[in-house]
Amino acid sequence: MAAAKKSASKKSASKKTARKTSSGKVNRWSAKVTSDATHPEPGLFTRDAETIAKHLATPEVSPKGPAQGMQMLNFYINRAGKNLPEERHKVLEHAKELLSKITANEKEKAGS
């Protein structure tokens, strides 16, 4: 019984983030995000985890550092949501782990 209540509350919570327009289309907040903070090359998120992590850690792609690249990767994963195939999701999660290690190494170097 409690599980049914939890799933019902999750469904209603997700509906709050989506709004219908007058034409009946669902309008999501993430579609309106326009940021020029990071500059990934087209198709970057379709590549292997190592390449994604290395590119997102570069100053050309993420001028404010690898943490900014991590934000972009998280946004991409969240934006794709349920439409992201599980295999692709695993690759992107692995890229997050690699990027996290790069970020930690960079912080360690800066502290020395």
Write the pLDDT tens digit of every residue in 67-76: 899 999 998 9
Cα separation, 66 vs 72, whole angstroms? 10
pTM attached to this predicted model: 0.67
Residue 68 neighbours by CB distance under 10 Å: 18
For the stretch 38-73, pLDDT in tens is 678 899 999 999 999 999 999 998 888 888 999 999
Contact 99, 70 (CB under 8 A): yes
| Rounded average pLDDT over 87-98 | 96
Cα separation, 56 vs 67, whole angstroms? 9
- pLDDT exceeds cutoff 50 at 87: yes
Helix (H) or strand (E) holding 4: helix 2-17
